[in-house]
Amino acid sequence: MSVPVRQATIHDLDRIAPLFDAYRVFYGQPTDIPRATQFLRERFAHHDSVVLLATDEEGAGAGFVQLYPIFSSVRTARIYLLNDLFVAAGMRRRGVAATLMREAVDFARAVGASGMTLATAHTNAPAQRLYESLGWTRDDEFREYTIRF
């Protein structure tokens, strides 16, 4: 099944916010549509991220991917962090995630980025299989660390 994917705008908040909220719930956060909407509104207002939106036959949100621009000092180039990928429950196993991933790569190439990066849970085997099937490789050279405030 082929789904249309396009770059979302602030006018798509009503389609994206419920998906973004469901994404956050998937990762253990309480549902909070107003918070999801406000977070996305700020990203659009400040041009902090790029959201690609997949829609179903009726134009409802089927899934999304959110990309954040970051920069590599070593490569002296822009890269994109694929931070969020989510597909609505009723649209899963139809190729929506793979389509969103391909469109994200196409977008990054089109704007001259030198690559993309993402992180996923060690236990998220389905996502790892998807990424590897699309040519992404696991980084065995660098170990990632974080600090939370």
pLDDT in tens, 71-112: 999 999 999 999 999 999 999 999 999 999 999 999 999 999
Residue type, 18: P
Task: Kindly indicate the confidence band of residue 1, based on its pLDDT and cuts at 50, 70 and 90.
Answer: low
User: Token pair of 101, please?
Assistant: 């991933």
> pTM to 2 decimals?
0.92
Q: How many CA atoms lie within 13 Å of 107's alpha carbon, on the beta-carbon side? A: 25
Is 117 within 8 Å of 107 (Cβ atoms)?
A: no
Within 10 A of 70 (CB to CB), how many other CB atoms are there?
A: 13
Ordered structural domains, the chain, with CATH: 5-119 (3.40.630.30)
In angstroms, the CA 119 to CA 138 distance is 9
| Mean predicted confidence (pLDDT) in 120-127 | 89
Residue 10 in this model has a pLDDT that exceeds 70: yes
In angstroms, the CA 51 to CA 17 distance is 11
